[in-house]
Structure 1
Amino acid sequence: MFSLQGKTAVITGGGSGIGRAISLLFARQGATVHIVELNAEAAAHVLSEIQQAGGQAQVHQANVADQQQVLQVFEQIGKLDILVNNAGIAHVGNVENTSEADFERVYSVNVKGAYNCLFAAVPRLKAQGGGAIVNLASIASHVGITDRFAYSMSKGAIFAMTLSVARDYLADKIRCNSMSPARVHTPFVDGFIAKNYPGREEEIFDKLSKSQPIGRMGTPEEVATLALFLCSDEASFITGCDYPIDGGFIRLNN
Protein backbone atom coordinates (compact mmCIF):
# COMPACT_ATOMS: atom_id res chain seq x y z
CA MET A 1 0.00 0.00 0.00
CA PHE A 2 0.90 3.67 -0.45
CA SER A 3 3.44 3.00 -3.20
CA LEU A 4 4.60 5.97 -5.27
CA GLN A 5 6.62 3.79 -7.63
CA GLY A 6 6.99 5.41 -11.04
CA LYS A 7 5.60 8.77 -9.89
CA THR A 8 7.31 12.15 -10.02
CA ALA A 9 6.81 14.42 -7.02
CA VAL A 10 7.71 18.07 -6.47
CA ILE A 11 8.22 19.13 -2.84
CA THR A 12 8.72 22.85 -2.22
CA GLY A 13 10.75 23.78 0.82
CA GLY A 14 12.03 20.20 0.88
CA GLY A 15 15.35 21.06 2.49
CA SER A 16 14.27 21.06 6.13
CA GLY A 17 11.55 20.23 8.63
CA ILE A 18 8.29 18.90 7.25
CA GLY A 19 9.48 19.25 3.65
CA ARG A 20 12.56 17.16 4.38
CA ALA A 21 10.47 14.44 6.01
CA ILE A 22 8.07 14.36 3.04
CA SER A 23 10.95 14.22 0.56
CA LEU A 24 12.61 11.32 2.38
CA LEU A 25 9.37 9.34 2.75
CA PHE A 26 8.19 9.87 -0.83
CA ALA A 27 11.58 8.75 -2.16
CA ARG A 28 11.48 5.70 0.10
CA GLN A 29 8.05 4.85 -1.35
CA GLY A 30 9.45 4.90 -4.88
CA ALA A 31 8.82 8.42 -6.16
CA THR A 32 11.39 10.45 -8.06
CA VAL A 33 11.54 13.51 -5.82
CA HIS A 34 12.29 17.02 -7.02
CA ILE A 35 13.17 19.31 -4.12
CA VAL A 36 12.49 22.99 -4.86
CA GLU A 37 14.38 24.92 -2.21
CA LEU A 38 15.90 28.38 -1.76
CA ASN A 39 18.57 27.00 0.60
CA ALA A 40 20.71 24.91 -1.73
CA GLU A 41 22.99 23.67 1.04
CA ALA A 42 20.08 22.28 3.07
CA ALA A 43 18.58 20.67 -0.03
CA ALA A 44 21.93 19.05 -0.86
CA HIS A 45 21.95 17.34 2.55
CA VAL A 46 18.48 15.90 1.93
CA LEU A 47 19.50 14.81 -1.57
CA SER A 48 22.46 12.96 -0.07
CA GLU A 49 20.21 11.24 2.47
CA ILE A 50 17.84 10.10 -0.27
CA GLN A 51 20.62 8.83 -2.51
CA GLN A 52 22.35 6.98 0.33
CA ALA A 53 19.06 5.18 0.98
CA GLY A 54 18.83 4.18 -2.68
CA GLY A 55 16.21 6.74 -3.71
CA GLN A 56 15.97 9.05 -6.71
CA ALA A 57 15.95 12.83 -6.29
CA GLN A 58 17.06 16.13 -7.77
CA VAL A 59 17.48 19.59 -6.28
CA HIS A 60 16.29 22.82 -7.91
CA GLN A 61 17.37 26.04 -6.22
CA ALA A 62 14.56 28.55 -6.67
CA ASN A 63 12.54 31.20 -4.88
CA VAL A 64 8.89 30.11 -5.10
CA ALA A 65 7.86 33.79 -4.95
CA ASP A 66 9.48 34.33 -8.36
CA GLN A 67 7.14 32.98 -11.05
CA GLN A 68 9.76 32.87 -13.80
CA GLN A 69 12.08 30.80 -11.63
CA VAL A 70 9.23 28.44 -10.79
CA LEU A 71 8.18 28.05 -14.43
CA GLN A 72 11.77 27.29 -15.45
CA VAL A 73 12.05 24.62 -12.75
CA PHE A 74 8.84 22.90 -13.80
CA GLU A 75 9.95 23.04 -17.44
CA GLN A 76 13.12 21.19 -16.43
CA ILE A 77 11.17 18.59 -14.46
CA GLY A 78 8.70 17.80 -17.24
CA LYS A 79 6.43 14.89 -16.28
CA LEU A 80 4.63 15.45 -13.00
CA ASP A 81 2.28 13.40 -10.82
CA ILE A 82 2.41 15.03 -7.38
CA LEU A 83 2.88 18.55 -6.01
CA VAL A 84 3.35 19.31 -2.32
CA ASN A 85 3.21 23.05 -1.62
CA ASN A 86 5.17 23.12 1.62
CA ALA A 87 7.45 26.18 1.38
CA GLY A 88 6.47 28.90 3.82
CA ILE A 89 7.63 31.42 6.39
CA ALA A 90 6.21 32.59 9.72
CA HIS A 91 5.68 35.99 11.30
CA VAL A 92 4.75 37.23 14.78
CA GLY A 93 2.53 40.27 15.08
CA ASN A 94 -1.01 41.65 15.13
CA VAL A 95 -2.48 44.00 12.52
CA GLU A 96 -1.07 47.10 14.24
CA ASN A 97 2.54 46.01 14.44
CA THR A 98 2.75 44.10 11.15
CA SER A 99 4.60 46.36 8.74
CA GLU A 100 3.70 46.54 5.09
CA ALA A 101 7.06 44.99 4.23
CA ASP A 102 6.48 42.06 6.58
CA PHE A 103 2.94 41.54 5.29
CA GLU A 104 4.14 41.52 1.68
CA ARG A 105 7.02 39.18 2.50
CA VAL A 106 4.68 36.61 4.08
CA TYR A 107 2.17 37.00 1.25
CA SER A 108 4.89 36.67 -1.39
CA VAL A 109 6.24 33.35 -0.10
CA ASN A 110 3.20 31.68 1.46
CA VAL A 111 0.43 32.76 -0.92
CA LYS A 112 2.06 33.81 -4.17
CA GLY A 113 4.59 30.99 -3.84
CA ALA A 114 1.83 28.40 -3.66
CA TYR A 115 -0.02 30.09 -6.53
CA ASN A 116 3.13 30.10 -8.68
CA CYS A 117 3.60 26.37 -8.19
CA LEU A 118 -0.07 25.64 -8.86
CA PHE A 119 0.11 27.81 -11.98
CA ALA A 120 3.09 25.81 -13.23
CA ALA A 121 1.92 22.37 -12.11
CA VAL A 122 -1.76 22.17 -13.03
CA PRO A 123 -1.28 22.22 -16.83
CA ARG A 124 1.28 19.42 -16.49
CA LEU A 125 -1.02 17.38 -14.27
CA LYS A 126 -3.82 17.85 -16.82
CA ALA A 127 -1.55 16.67 -19.61
CA GLN A 128 -0.54 13.67 -17.50
CA GLY A 129 -4.19 12.69 -17.04
CA GLY A 130 -4.48 13.72 -13.41
CA GLY A 131 -2.50 13.78 -10.23
CA ALA A 132 -2.45 14.83 -6.59
CA ILE A 133 -1.77 18.16 -4.91
CA VAL A 134 -1.29 18.69 -1.18
CA ASN A 135 -1.04 22.21 0.21
CA LEU A 136 0.33 22.94 3.68
CA ALA A 137 -2.26 25.04 5.47
CA SER A 138 -2.32 25.37 9.27
CA ILE A 139 -4.53 25.38 12.32
CA ALA A 140 -4.31 29.16 11.77
CA SER A 141 -6.60 28.59 8.77
CA HIS A 142 -9.38 27.57 11.16
CA VAL A 143 -8.97 29.23 14.55
CA GLY A 144 -7.68 32.53 15.86
CA ILE A 145 -4.03 32.43 16.93
CA THR A 146 -2.66 35.33 18.97
CA ASP A 147 -0.14 37.56 17.17
CA ARG A 148 -0.22 35.67 13.88
CA PHE A 149 -2.11 38.17 11.71
CA ALA A 150 -0.07 37.90 8.47
CA TYR A 151 0.62 34.20 8.88
CA SER A 152 -3.05 33.42 9.50
CA MET A 153 -3.99 35.46 6.43
CA SER A 154 -1.61 33.44 4.30
CA LYS A 155 -2.74 30.05 5.56
CA GLY A 156 -6.40 31.00 5.21
CA ALA A 157 -5.61 31.71 1.56
CA ILE A 158 -4.02 28.27 1.20
CA PHE A 159 -7.18 26.64 2.56
CA ALA A 160 -9.38 28.59 0.13
CA MET A 161 -7.11 27.94 -2.87
CA THR A 162 -7.25 24.23 -2.09
CA LEU A 163 -11.04 24.20 -2.39
CA SER A 164 -10.95 26.26 -5.58
CA VAL A 165 -8.43 24.06 -7.37
CA ALA A 166 -10.19 20.88 -6.22
CA ARG A 167 -13.49 22.14 -7.63
CA ASP A 168 -12.13 23.48 -10.90
CA TYR A 169 -10.23 20.34 -11.89
CA LEU A 170 -12.56 17.50 -10.94
CA ALA A 171 -13.02 16.55 -14.60
CA ASP A 172 -9.24 16.53 -15.09
CA LYS A 173 -8.76 13.98 -12.29
CA ILE A 174 -6.59 16.35 -10.28
CA ARG A 175 -7.15 15.87 -6.58
CA CYS A 176 -6.27 18.79 -4.29
CA ASN A 177 -6.28 18.58 -0.50
CA SER A 178 -4.64 20.44 2.35
CA MET A 179 -3.16 19.58 5.72
CA SER A 180 -3.41 21.82 8.78
CA PRO A 181 -0.66 21.03 11.26
CA ALA A 182 -0.55 22.47 14.75
CA ARG A 183 2.88 22.93 16.30
CA VAL A 184 5.40 20.53 14.79
CA HIS A 185 8.86 20.25 16.32
CA THR A 186 11.39 21.20 13.65
CA PRO A 187 14.70 23.08 13.69
CA PHE A 188 12.69 26.02 12.35
CA VAL A 189 10.59 26.03 15.53
CA ASP A 190 13.70 26.03 17.73
CA GLY A 191 15.17 28.92 15.75
CA PHE A 192 11.85 30.78 15.74
CA ILE A 193 11.57 30.54 19.53
CA ALA A 194 15.19 31.57 20.05
CA LYS A 195 14.75 34.61 17.80
CA ASN A 196 11.43 35.86 19.15
CA TYR A 197 11.66 34.78 22.82
CA PRO A 198 15.35 35.03 23.80
CA GLY A 199 16.04 33.73 27.28
CA ARG A 200 12.61 32.09 27.49
CA GLU A 201 13.23 29.19 25.10
CA GLU A 202 12.41 26.36 27.52
CA GLU A 203 9.32 28.12 28.87
CA ILE A 204 7.91 28.88 25.41
CA PHE A 205 8.68 25.40 24.07
CA ASP A 206 6.83 23.84 27.00
CA LYS A 207 3.90 26.23 26.56
CA LEU A 208 3.61 25.52 22.84
CA SER A 209 3.88 21.79 23.42
CA LYS A 210 1.10 21.81 26.00
CA SER A 211 -1.17 23.95 23.81
CA GLN A 212 -1.97 20.72 21.97
CA PRO A 213 -4.48 18.71 24.03
CA ILE A 214 -2.45 15.58 23.28
CA GLY A 215 0.36 17.19 25.30
CA ARG A 216 3.20 17.46 22.78
CA MET A 217 4.20 18.85 19.41
CA GLY A 218 3.88 16.71 16.33
CA THR A 219 6.81 15.34 14.38
CA PRO A 220 7.67 16.04 10.74
CA GLU A 221 7.44 12.32 10.07
CA GLU A 222 3.82 12.22 11.26
CA VAL A 223 2.89 15.00 8.85
CA ALA A 224 4.80 13.28 6.05
CA THR A 225 2.82 10.08 6.60
CA LEU A 226 -0.45 11.95 6.11
CA ALA A 227 0.93 13.61 2.98
CA LEU A 228 1.89 10.18 1.63
CA PHE A 229 -1.64 8.87 2.13
CA LEU A 230 -3.23 11.89 0.43
CA CYS A 231 -0.89 11.61 -2.57
CA SER A 232 -1.27 7.84 -2.93
CA ASP A 233 -3.74 5.95 -5.11
CA GLU A 234 -5.39 4.71 -1.90
CA ALA A 235 -6.75 8.27 -1.43
CA SER A 236 -8.26 8.41 -4.93
CA PHE A 237 -11.76 9.21 -3.56
CA ILE A 238 -10.55 12.22 -1.54
CA THR A 239 -10.43 15.78 -2.85
CA GLY A 240 -11.29 19.25 -1.58
CA CYS A 241 -10.62 18.27 2.03
CA ASP A 242 -8.49 19.72 4.80
CA TYR A 243 -6.91 17.39 7.34
CA PRO A 244 -6.03 18.85 10.74
CA ILE A 245 -3.00 17.05 12.14
CA ASP A 246 -3.02 18.94 15.38
CA GLY A 247 -3.08 16.78 18.50
CA GLY A 248 -6.69 17.84 19.04
CA PHE A 249 -5.95 21.58 18.92
CA ILE A 250 -8.93 22.71 16.83
CA ARG A 251 -11.66 20.53 18.31
CA LEU A 252 -10.52 19.71 21.83
CA ASN A 253 -9.11 23.00 23.20
CA ASN A 254 -12.02 23.86 25.47
Structure 2
Amino acid sequence: MTLQGKTALVTGGTSGIGRAVAMKLAHRGAHVIVTGRDKRRGEEVIAEIDAQGGNARFIAADLANFDDVRRLAGAAADVDVLVNNAGVFPGRPTEQTTEKDFDLVFDVNVKAPFYLTATIAPRMAARGGGAIISISTMAATIGMSGLAAYGASKAAIEALTKSWTAEYGPQGVRVNVVAPGPTHTPANAAMGEMFDALTATVPARRGADPDEIAAAVCFLASDEASFIYGAVLHADGGRVAV
Protein backbone atom coordinates (compact mmCIF):
# COMPACT_ATOMS: atom_id res chain seq x y z
CA MET A 1 0.00 0.00 0.00
CA THR A 2 2.61 2.49 -1.11
CA LEU A 3 2.02 6.23 -1.42
CA GLN A 4 5.44 6.87 -2.90
CA GLY A 5 5.55 10.08 -4.90
CA LYS A 6 2.33 11.45 -3.40
CA THR A 7 1.99 14.63 -1.36
CA ALA A 8 -0.54 14.73 1.46
CA LEU A 9 -1.94 17.52 3.62
CA VAL A 10 -3.12 16.53 7.11
CA THR A 11 -5.01 19.15 9.08
CA GLY A 12 -4.82 18.91 12.85
CA GLY A 13 -1.74 16.76 12.35
CA THR A 14 0.10 17.60 15.56
CA SER A 15 -1.79 15.34 17.97
CA GLY A 16 -4.05 12.31 18.30
CA ILE A 17 -5.52 10.81 15.15
CA GLY A 18 -4.00 13.50 12.92
CA ARG A 19 -0.52 12.83 14.18
CA ALA A 20 -0.95 9.07 13.65
CA VAL A 21 -2.25 9.71 10.12
CA ALA A 22 0.72 11.94 9.28
CA MET A 23 3.18 9.37 10.60
CA LYS A 24 1.59 6.49 8.72
CA LEU A 25 1.27 8.39 5.43
CA ALA A 26 4.96 9.31 5.67
CA HIS A 27 5.85 5.70 6.46
CA ARG A 28 4.02 4.66 3.27
CA GLY A 29 6.20 7.05 1.24
CA ALA A 30 4.13 10.23 1.00
CA HIS A 31 5.59 13.68 1.47
CA VAL A 32 3.39 15.01 4.27
CA ILE A 33 2.40 18.58 5.00
CA VAL A 34 1.38 18.73 8.64
CA THR A 35 -0.68 21.66 9.81
CA GLY A 36 -1.87 22.77 13.22
CA ARG A 37 -1.92 25.71 15.60
CA ASP A 38 1.02 24.70 17.81
CA LYS A 39 4.39 25.25 16.12
CA ARG A 40 6.31 23.34 18.81
CA ARG A 41 4.15 20.24 18.49
CA GLY A 42 4.30 20.53 14.71
CA GLU A 43 8.07 20.60 14.73
CA GLU A 44 8.11 17.55 17.02
CA VAL A 45 6.01 15.59 14.52
CA ILE A 46 8.25 16.63 11.64
CA ALA A 47 11.36 15.65 13.60
CA GLU A 48 9.88 12.24 14.38
CA ILE A 49 8.96 11.65 10.74
CA ASP A 50 12.42 12.73 9.62
CA ALA A 51 14.04 10.43 12.19
CA GLN A 52 12.16 7.50 10.67
CA GLY A 53 13.34 8.34 7.18
CA GLY A 54 10.19 10.14 6.09
CA ASN A 55 9.68 13.47 4.40
CA ALA A 56 7.49 16.17 5.95
CA ARG A 57 7.11 19.87 6.60
CA PHE A 58 4.94 21.95 8.91
CA ILE A 59 2.65 24.88 8.15
CA ALA A 60 1.19 26.66 11.17
CA ALA A 61 -2.51 27.46 10.70
CA ASP A 62 -5.52 28.06 12.91
CA LEU A 63 -8.52 26.76 10.99
CA ALA A 64 -10.87 28.90 13.05
CA ASN A 65 -9.27 31.85 11.26
CA PHE A 66 -10.45 32.07 7.66
CA ASP A 67 -7.38 34.03 6.59
CA ASP A 68 -5.29 31.06 7.75
CA VAL A 69 -7.57 28.68 5.84
CA ARG A 70 -7.07 30.68 2.63
CA ARG A 71 -3.31 30.84 3.18
CA LEU A 72 -3.09 27.10 3.82
CA ALA A 73 -5.22 26.30 0.79
CA GLY A 74 -2.89 28.34 -1.40
CA ALA A 75 0.26 26.80 0.06
CA ALA A 76 -1.00 23.22 -0.34
CA ALA A 77 -3.16 23.58 -3.45
CA ASP A 78 -1.42 20.83 -5.43
CA VAL A 79 -1.49 17.94 -2.95
CA ASP A 80 -2.55 14.47 -4.07
CA VAL A 81 -4.19 13.59 -0.74
CA LEU A 82 -6.17 15.86 1.57
CA VAL A 83 -7.04 14.65 5.05
CA ASN A 84 -9.62 16.90 6.72
CA ASN A 85 -8.90 15.84 10.28
CA ALA A 86 -8.82 19.01 12.40
CA GLY A 87 -11.85 19.30 14.63
CA VAL A 88 -13.19 20.78 17.84
CA PHE A 89 -15.83 19.18 20.04
CA PRO A 90 -16.94 21.17 23.06
CA GLY A 91 -19.17 18.69 24.84
CA ARG A 92 -22.05 20.39 26.62
CA PRO A 93 -25.84 20.35 26.58
CA THR A 94 -27.58 22.30 23.84
CA GLU A 95 -28.87 24.98 26.20
CA GLN A 96 -25.32 25.58 27.46
CA THR A 97 -23.80 25.87 23.98
CA THR A 98 -23.02 29.52 23.30
CA GLU A 99 -23.10 31.16 19.91
CA LYS A 100 -19.31 31.42 20.10
CA ASP A 101 -19.07 27.65 20.77
CA PHE A 102 -21.41 26.87 17.90
CA ASP A 103 -19.61 29.12 15.43
CA LEU A 104 -16.23 27.66 16.39
CA VAL A 105 -17.44 24.09 15.80
CA PHE A 106 -18.82 24.90 12.36
CA ASP A 107 -15.91 27.15 11.37
CA VAL A 108 -13.32 24.45 12.09
CA ASN A 109 -15.31 21.28 11.35
CA VAL A 110 -17.26 22.40 8.27
CA LYS A 111 -16.21 25.76 6.83
CA ALA A 112 -12.46 25.06 6.83
CA PRO A 113 -12.67 21.65 5.10
CA PHE A 114 -15.26 23.06 2.69
CA TYR A 115 -12.94 25.79 1.47
CA LEU A 116 -9.82 23.64 1.52
CA THR A 117 -11.69 21.18 -0.68
CA ALA A 118 -12.99 24.01 -2.86
CA THR A 119 -9.39 24.99 -3.64
CA ILE A 120 -7.74 21.59 -3.78
CA ALA A 121 -10.34 19.29 -5.39
CA PRO A 122 -10.59 21.17 -8.72
CA ARG A 123 -6.81 21.01 -9.09
CA MET A 124 -6.89 17.28 -8.35
CA ALA A 125 -9.61 16.92 -10.98
CA ALA A 126 -7.55 18.83 -13.53
CA ARG A 127 -4.68 16.39 -12.98
CA GLY A 128 -6.99 13.38 -13.34
CA GLY A 129 -7.39 12.29 -9.73
CA GLY A 130 -6.68 12.50 -6.04
CA ALA A 131 -8.04 11.40 -2.69
CA ILE A 132 -9.86 13.40 -0.02
CA ILE A 133 -10.59 11.77 3.32
CA SER A 134 -12.50 13.58 6.05
CA ILE A 135 -12.68 12.44 9.66
CA SER A 136 -16.22 12.20 11.00
CA THR A 137 -17.49 10.43 14.14
CA MET A 138 -20.05 7.89 15.24
CA ALA A 139 -21.91 10.89 16.74
CA ALA A 140 -22.88 11.87 13.19
CA THR A 141 -24.97 8.68 13.01
CA ILE A 142 -26.20 8.03 16.55
CA GLY A 143 -27.62 10.59 18.96
CA MET A 144 -25.21 11.39 21.79
CA SER A 145 -26.12 13.65 24.67
CA GLY A 146 -24.01 16.79 24.88
CA LEU A 147 -22.67 16.45 21.34
CA ALA A 148 -25.46 18.03 19.30
CA ALA A 149 -23.37 20.73 17.60
CA TYR A 150 -20.40 18.41 17.09
CA GLY A 151 -22.51 15.58 15.68
CA ALA A 152 -24.33 17.99 13.38
CA SER A 153 -21.04 19.38 12.07
CA LYS A 154 -19.78 15.91 11.22
CA ALA A 155 -23.09 14.91 9.66
CA ALA A 156 -22.58 17.96 7.44
CA ILE A 157 -19.16 16.63 6.41
CA GLU A 158 -20.72 13.30 5.48
CA ALA A 159 -23.34 15.08 3.36
CA LEU A 160 -20.65 17.22 1.73
CA THR A 161 -18.73 14.05 0.89
CA LYS A 162 -21.68 12.82 -1.16
CA SER A 163 -21.92 16.13 -3.01
CA TRP A 164 -18.17 16.26 -3.62
CA THR A 165 -18.29 12.72 -4.97
CA ALA A 166 -20.95 13.81 -7.47
CA GLU A 167 -18.93 16.91 -8.40
CA TYR A 168 -15.40 15.58 -8.59
CA GLY A 169 -15.75 11.80 -8.81
CA PRO A 170 -16.17 11.81 -12.60
CA GLN A 171 -12.71 13.41 -12.83
CA GLY A 172 -11.17 10.67 -10.69
CA VAL A 173 -11.19 12.42 -7.30
CA ARG A 174 -12.20 9.94 -4.63
CA VAL A 175 -13.86 11.57 -1.61
CA ASN A 176 -14.54 9.41 1.44
CA VAL A 177 -15.01 9.55 5.20
CA VAL A 178 -13.60 7.65 8.16
CA ALA A 179 -15.93 7.78 11.15
CA PRO A 180 -14.11 6.70 14.33
CA GLY A 181 -15.61 5.57 17.58
CA PRO A 182 -13.97 6.26 20.94
CA THR A 183 -10.23 6.60 20.36
CA HIS A 184 -7.36 6.92 22.83
CA THR A 185 -6.14 10.47 22.20
CA PRO A 186 -4.88 13.21 24.52
CA ALA A 187 -8.17 15.08 24.11
CA ASN A 188 -10.25 12.03 25.04
CA ALA A 189 -8.00 11.19 27.98
CA ALA A 190 -9.51 14.15 29.79
CA MET A 191 -12.89 12.39 29.76
CA GLY A 192 -11.69 9.91 32.39
CA GLU A 193 -14.44 7.51 33.49
CA MET A 194 -16.79 8.89 30.84
CA PHE A 195 -14.48 7.51 28.16
CA ASP A 196 -14.52 4.09 29.86
CA ALA A 197 -18.32 4.17 29.96
CA LEU A 198 -18.40 5.01 26.27
CA THR A 199 -16.12 2.15 25.28
CA ALA A 200 -18.34 -0.24 27.26
CA THR A 201 -21.08 0.40 24.67
CA VAL A 202 -18.83 -0.69 21.79
CA PRO A 203 -19.05 -4.35 20.65
CA ALA A 204 -15.24 -4.44 20.46
CA ARG A 205 -15.25 -3.54 24.18
CA ARG A 206 -12.33 -1.14 23.86
CA GLY A 207 -11.29 2.18 22.42
CA ALA A 208 -9.29 2.41 19.22
CA ASP A 209 -5.62 3.17 19.02
CA PRO A 210 -5.03 6.20 16.75
CA ASP A 211 -2.92 3.98 14.49
CA GLU A 212 -6.01 1.88 13.75
CA ILE A 213 -7.87 4.95 12.50
CA ALA A 214 -4.79 6.05 10.56
CA ALA A 215 -4.69 2.67 8.84
CA ALA A 216 -8.23 3.21 7.56
CA VAL A 217 -7.26 6.66 6.25
CA CYS A 218 -4.17 5.29 4.50
CA PHE A 219 -6.23 2.57 2.86
CA LEU A 220 -8.68 5.12 1.44
CA ALA A 221 -5.76 7.29 0.27
CA SER A 222 -4.15 4.40 -1.58
CA ASP A 223 -4.79 2.86 -4.98
CA GLU A 224 -6.12 -0.23 -3.18
CA ALA A 225 -9.29 1.80 -2.60
CA SER A 226 -9.48 2.78 -6.27
CA PHE A 227 -13.20 1.98 -6.64
CA ILE A 228 -14.36 3.42 -3.33
CA TYR A 229 -16.13 6.76 -3.79
CA GLY A 230 -18.44 8.57 -1.37
CA ALA A 231 -18.18 5.97 1.39
CA VAL A 232 -18.36 6.33 5.15
CA LEU A 233 -15.99 3.81 6.71
CA HIS A 234 -17.11 3.25 10.30
CA ALA A 235 -13.95 2.53 12.32
CA ASP A 236 -15.89 2.38 15.58
CA GLY A 237 -15.58 -1.17 16.89
CA GLY A 238 -19.11 -1.90 15.71
CA ARG A 239 -20.89 0.82 17.69
CA VAL A 240 -23.23 2.12 14.96
CA ALA A 241 -24.20 -1.45 14.03
CA VAL A 242 -25.93 -2.16 17.36
TM-score by length of 1: 0.91
Q: How does 1:131-170 map to 2 (within 5 A)?
A: 131-170=130-169
Select 1:222's aligned residue among 212, 231, 241: 212
Given the superposition, is the C-alpha separation of residues 217 and 127 from structure 1 closer, same or farther in structure 2, using an over 3 Å criterion?
same
Structure 2 spans left out of the alignment, 5+ residues: none
Query: How far does the alpha carbon of each residue in 1:10-42 deviate from its partner, in whole angstroms, 9 at most, with x for none?
Result: 000000000000000000100000011111111
Structure 1 spans left out of the alignment, 5+ residues: 194-200
Contact 2:17 2:213 in 1 (8 A): yes
CA RMSD of superposed structures (Å): 1.3
Partner of 1:82: 81
Contact 2:12 2:85 in 1 (8 A): yes
Partner of 1:124: 123
Select 2:201's aligned residue among 196, 205, 211: 211
Structure 1 stretch displaced more, 176-185 or 60-69:
60-69
Partner of 2:184: 185
Amino acid at match of 1:179: V
Amino acid at match of 2:73: F
Q: Distance in 2 between matches of 1:231 and 1:171?
A: 17
Q: 1:156: how far off?
A: 0.8
Q: Distance in 1 between matches of 2:15 and 2:124?
A: 26
Partner of 2:51: 52
Partner of 2:95: 96
SS at match of 2:152: helix
Q: Distance in 2 between matches of 1:109 and 1:79?
A: 21
Partner of 1:172: 171
Q: Distance in 1 between matches of 2:118 and 2:66?
A: 9
Q: 1:73: how far off?
A: 2.5
Q: Distance in 2 between matches of 1:205 and 1:251?
A: 19
Tell me how many residue pairs correspond in the alignment: 242
Query: How far does the alpha carbon of each residue in 1:41-84 deviate from its partner, in whole angstroms, 9 at most, with x for none?
Result: 11111101100001000100012233332332333335310000
Contact 2:182 2:208 in 1 (8 A): yes
SS at match of 1:34: strand
Q: Write out the 4+ residue segments of structure 1 that deviate beyond 4 Å after TM superposition.
A: none
TM-score by length of 2: 0.96
Q: 1:207: how far off?
A: 1.0
Aligned identity (percent) is 38
SS at match of 1:120: helix
Select 1:241's aligned residue among 227, 231, 238: 231
Amino acid at match of 1:25: K
Amino acid at match of 1:149: A
Q: 1:204: how far off?
A: 2.2
Amino acid at match of 1:172: Q
